[in-house]
Amino acid sequence: MAAEHFENSRSKVNDFALKLANVNGTGSSSANNLLMRSIFRMGVPVSGKNLFPSNIQGLPTWYEIRVNRDGHVARAREYDLMVAMNGQTYARDIAEVAGGGFTMYDSSWPLGRDLIREDVTYLGVPLAEMCNDEFRGPRERILMKNIACAGALVAMLGIDMNVIAQLLTEQFAGKDRLRESNQRALRLGHDFATQHFEYPLPCRIEAMDATQGSILIDGNTAAALGCVFAGATVAAWYPITPSTSLMDAFAKYCAKFRRDPETGRNNYLVLQAEDELAAIGMVLGASWAGARAFTSTSGPGISLMQELLGMGYYAEIPAVVFDVQRVGPSTGMPTRVQQADILVCAYASHGDTKHVLLFPASPAECFAMAANAFDLADRFQTPVFVLSDLDIGMNDWVSPALEWDDAYVPDRGRVLDAGELRELEVYHRYEPADAESVAARTLPGVSELGAYFTRGSGHTIEGAYTEYPEEYQAVLDRLARKHTAVAEHIPAPVVDDHAHAPLGIVTLGSCELAVLEAVELLAKRDIAADYMRVRGFPFGAAVRAFLEAHETIVVVEQNRDGQLRTLLTLETPVPKEKLRSVLAYGGYPLSAEDVVDGVTKIQEA
């Protein structure tokens, strides 16, 4: 162990990144989770990002852990410690180690000479050998190799063994044999490390209390819970990465919370559709009939839903669509992240359409925005998209414990009941409209007096078929006014303009942590910037005011074409040339360095 690495050791305590390179399908994820959870339990801000392949077994998979005492846990681009357990990717992985960093590898086999870097310290642990001696059967040997590796890391990172023991006890409650073998494997790695290396490393954990009151949760689980709490009763979906776990979680929580204790019957119905066209059709049918209904999908599903989304818009039927974005176009990279469905959702379907979008930045917002989405869909009788992404949806985030206001009452919008219908001289579906350009709807099964014919064909304000320009336009123009009226009901943007800088950085969704960190890093380079995170579309007065108040706006987002920038130029009066883009769209979550580099380049130009 080179002593010089310890000189600067204080600065790496609770501030480092490590990356575990593995082969998928070998059970590495439980060891990864164990590490991430133990750091969380030690009260230290942490993130764990799973960079996994679209495959079940045999391809490279990585898990990145970033620890930061100040809460900056966006993805790091360099790693203080690389745990290189996949021969296929050794070269690439070792190249990502920060100068002066460490590489842990399985020394059961020698490391090729070409992989040796002078500025990296190598920690060889004979994991395969140790586990072959200790365990029987190929499956157990492979699984326990990961746990033994975690054991070595526990020693090297200074993770509290009591915390780990407690985690194993919780994880394997009632499964003593499994707990015992995990414990043994963990000890194996731990003891090897402590006997052979100077430990802990400069990049290490010291207990804090920064995660008090927080939980670890992924955005898909949080979104699913939000749907349960918002009162969704019908869910329709077609399996697609990375949204599948959202519906899995909805079904799981419904089974727990929605089974009538007296009758044993379900107060919900989950429909696994034959495709996404059917999924959105089921949602529209159920919403039309009066249920709160939603679907969860990703980009390819959004493409397939286009026609019916247009019908939902034009016939004014509520619907909630969770789009957990992945890399496009086409099949793209299903297990990588992007924010590239912004425009396709904003203007989904042929003809003049405009939709309502929400942009959650965290699991907590996925939870809260579920209720927002249902309220907006019902109030404005239109499809609402919640644009989450793979990073938020599938990774565990340190999140404030989810909170729910028990005084919440669903906003079901203007729906006439039988009594209200009796008081009307005559009911027409699309008039009279209220101040927000919304007309009252009626539900089937309530009263003959409210009967109308829902159609995607040209219709009058009464809901009757038409091909006359003025009758058609009366409805279409009101839809435009209605969309505008939504703006002030969209969650307000998150703004930090205390720098009073001429430069404003605008972003959305999962870019948040990287951009906030970048704003601090830029300030250290004497580049002051104000910050705004938009939380939905249409854009309201606060968004316009921020754009107006800054000389230069840099829009940071994760797609090639600057889709949020485009939407801002189309849907606000901001001059196009005022908006510049910083884009990251390779499929990995955004890093603060990406933003710093991009903004610096713009400032220098």
Partner 1 sequence: MPSIVKPMVTHPGLERNALGLSIRDYEGGMSTLCAGCGHDSVTAAITHALWESGTPPHMIAKLSGIGCSAKTAAYFARGAHGFNGCHGRMPPIATGASAANRDLLCIGISGDGDSLSIGLGHLAHLVRRNVRMVYVIENNGVYGLTKGQFSASADVGSTTKRGEANHLQPIDPIFLGLSVGATFLARGFSGDKRQLVPIFRAAMAHRGLAIIDVISPCVTFNDHEGSTKSYLFTRQHDVQMTVTDFVPPAEEISATIPDEGVVSIPMHDGATLRFRTVPDGYDPTDRMAVIEHLLSARGRGEIVTGLLYIDEQSSDLHELGNTTYRPLTQVPYDKLCPGSAALAGVGFR
Residues 25-54 close enough to bind partner 1 by CB under 8 A: 37, 40
- Kindly tell me which residue out of 48, 189, 200, 290 binds partner 1, with binding defined by CB under 8 A: 290
End-to-end alpha-carbon separation of the chain, Å? 44
Residue 162 binds partner 1 (CB under 8 A): no
537 forms bridges with which residues in the sheet? 357
The three-point CA angle 67-72-75 to 5° equals 75
Report which residue type is found at 589: P
- From the CB of 512, what's the least distance to partner 1, in Å? 19
- Please say which residue, 101 or 360, places its beta carbon nearer to partner 1: 360
Q: Measured between alpha carbons, how far is residue 380 from residues 146, 180, 291 in Å?
A: 51, 57, 15
Stretch that binds partner 1, among 127-135, 445-453, 561-569, 572-580 (CB under 8 A): 445-453
The three-point CA angle 555-366-345 to 5° equals 55
Stretch that binds partner 1, among 63-71, 179-187, 443-451, 503-511 (CB under 8 A): 443-451
Kindly provide the b/e burial profile for residues 312-350, where b requires at least 16 CB atoms within 10 angstroms of the residue's own CB.
Answer: bbbbbbbbbbbbbbbbbeeebebbbbbbbbbebbbbbbe
Q: What is the DSSP string of 74-99?
A: SBPSSEEEEEE--GGGHHHHHHTEEE
Sequence-ordered strand ranges (E) for 126-226:
214-218
Angstrom distance (rounded) from CA 84 to CA 104? 6
- Please say which residue, 131 or 293, places its beta carbon nearer to partner 1: 293
- Kindly tell me which residue out of 445, 500, 526, 605 binds partner 1, with binding defined by CB under 8 A: 445
- Kindly tell me which residue out of 289, 424, 480, 492 binds partner 1, with binding defined by CB under 8 A: 289
- Please say which residue, 232 or 508, places its beta carbon nearer to partner 1: 232
Residue 248 binds partner 1 (CB under 8 A): no
CB atoms within 10 A of CB 589: 25
- Kindly tell me which residue out of 67, 240, 282, 527 binds partner 1, with binding defined by CB under 8 A: 282
Each residue 585-604 as x (binds partner 1 by CB under 8 A) or -, in order, gives: --------------------
Residues 262-281 that bind partner 1 (CB under 8 A): 263-271, 273-275, 277-281
Residues 503-542 that bind partner 1 (CB under 8 A): none
Angstrom distance (rounded) from CA 590 to CA 326? 14
Stretch that binds partner 1, among 174-182, 458-466, 493-501, 578-586 (CB under 8 A): 458-466
- Please say which residue, 126 or 285, places its beta carbon nearer to partner 1: 285
Stretch that binds partner 1, among 44-52, 116-124, 215-223, 498-506 (CB under 8 A): 215-223
Residue 260 binds partner 1 (CB under 8 A): yes
Kindly provide the b/e burial profile for residues 20-40, where b requires at least 16 CB atoms within 10 angstroms of the residue's own CB.
Answer: bbbbbebbbbebbbbbbbbbb
- Please say which residue, 278 or 479, places its beta carbon nearer to partner 1: 278
Angstrom distance (rounded) from CA 449 to CA 446? 9
97 forms bridges with which residues in the sheet? 79
Residue 293 binds partner 1 (CB under 8 A): yes
Residues 374-433 that bind partner 1 (CB under 8 A): 396, 399, 401-406, 408-410
DSSP symbol at 266: B
Residue 216 binds partner 1 (CB under 8 A): yes
- From the CB of 473, what's the least distance to partner 1, in Å? 13
| Cβ contacts of 126 within 8 Å, gap of 6 or more | 106, 107, 108, 192
- Kindly tell me which residue out of 155, 286, 321, 369 binds partner 1, with binding defined by CB under 8 A: 286
Stretch that binds partner 1, among 91-99, 157-165, 217-225, 381-389 (CB under 8 A): 217-225
Stretch that binds partner 1, among 63-71, 254-262, 321-329, 580-588 (CB under 8 A): 254-262
- Please say which residue, 51 or 236, places its beta carbon nearer to partner 1: 236
DSSP symbol at 32: H
Shortest CA distance to 13 belongs to which of 37, 35, 44? 44
- Please say which residue, 450 or 562, places its beta carbon nearer to partner 1: 450
Residue 448 binds partner 1 (CB under 8 A): yes
Angstrom distance (rounded) from CA 330 to CA 321? 19
- Please say which residue, 117 or 252, places its beta carbon nearer to partner 1: 252
Residue 233 binds partner 1 (CB under 8 A): yes
- Please say which residue, 33 or 569, places its beta carbon nearer to partner 1: 33
Do residues 200 and 156 make contact, with C-beta atoms less than 8 angstroms apart? yes
Residue 369 binds partner 1 (CB under 8 A): no
* Site size with partner 1, rule: CB under 8 A: 81
156 Ramachandran zone, left/alpha/beta (phi>0; psi -120 to 50) = alpha
- From the CB of 313, what's the least distance to partner 1, in Å? 12
Q: What is the DSSP string of 326-374?
A: -B-STT-BTTS-----HHHHHT-SSSS---EEE---SHHHHHHHHHHHH
- Kindly tell me which residue out of 76, 234, 508, 555 binds partner 1, with binding defined by CB under 8 A: 234
Residues 85-144 that bind partner 1 (CB under 8 A): none
- Kindly tell me which residue out of 77, 117, 196, 258 binds partner 1, with binding defined by CB under 8 A: 258
Structure tokens belonging to residue 256: 């727990």
Residue 164 binds partner 1 (CB under 8 A): no
Pairing between strand 60-68 and 46-51?
A: antiparallel
- Phi first, then psi, for residue 291 (nearest 5°) are -85, 160
Structure tokens belonging to residue 193: 């490390």
Angstrom distance (rounded) from CA 325 to CA 302? 10
- Please say which residue, 101 or 226, places its beta carbon nearer to partner 1: 226
Rg (CA), the chain: 27
- From the CB of 44, what's the least distance to partner 1, in Å? 15
- Kindly tell me which residue out of 130, 236, 247, 574 binds partner 1, with binding defined by CB under 8 A: 236
DSSP symbol at 231: T
- Kindly tell me which residue out of 139, 169, 206, 257 binds partner 1, with binding defined by CB under 8 A: 257
Residue 172 binds partner 1 (CB under 8 A): no
- Please say which residue, 109 or 468, places its beta carbon nearer to partner 1: 468
- Please say which residue, 431 or 471, places its beta carbon nearer to partner 1: 471
